[in-house]
């Protein structure tokens, strides 16, 4: 897949709340899981308690709407459902079953 066609994920985080490390860790998790399937994971500084994860223009997680911060496995499943719906995420898909 060409770079221009691969999904772009953005994580907007509140600088005043010191959520850069949380955003960076989540970016690392997403890159470790999806690697070559992603075009980019971008960290975008924000303010006002914002923590949003988007695939393109699609809002995947919003801290205020969704009640806090996502567990990595929940966010990975939501992103997978958008970029590669048939993909098996291994133990993430089987935990709690």
* pLDDT value of position 28: 98
For residue 76, give both structure tokens. 């990975």
9 and 39 Cβ atoms separated by less than 8 Å: no
Q: 95: number of CA atoms within 13 Å, CB side? A: 8
- pLDDT tens-digit series, residues 33-79: 998 999 999 999 999 999 999 999 999 999 999 999 999 999 999 99
Percent of the chain with pLDDT over 70: 90
Average pLDDT of the chain, as a whole number = 92
Which CATH fold would you assign to the domain 10-94? Glutaredoxin (3.40.30)
For residue 56, give both structure tokens. 């393109």
* pLDDT value of position 97: 46
87, 24, 55, 63 alpha-carbon torsion, rounded to 10°: 110
Strands of the chain (E only): list them: 8-14, 40-46, 51-55, 58-62
Bridge partners, 40 (sequence order): 8
* C-alpha to C-alpha distance for 89 and 97, rounded to whole angstroms: 14
């Amino acid at each position: 897949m060409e770079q221009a066609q691969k999904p772009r994920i953005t994580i907007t985080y509140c600088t005043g709340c010191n959520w850069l490390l949380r955003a960076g860790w989540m970016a690392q998790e997403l890159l470790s899981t999806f690697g070559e399937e992603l075009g980019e994971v971008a960290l975008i500084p924000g303010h006002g308690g914002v923590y949003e994860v988007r695939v393109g223009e699609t809002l995947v997680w919003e801290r205020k709407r969704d009640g806090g911060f996502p567990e990595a496995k929940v966010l990975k499943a939501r992103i997978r459902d958008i970029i590669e719906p048939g993909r098996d995420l291994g133990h993430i898909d089987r935990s709690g079953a």
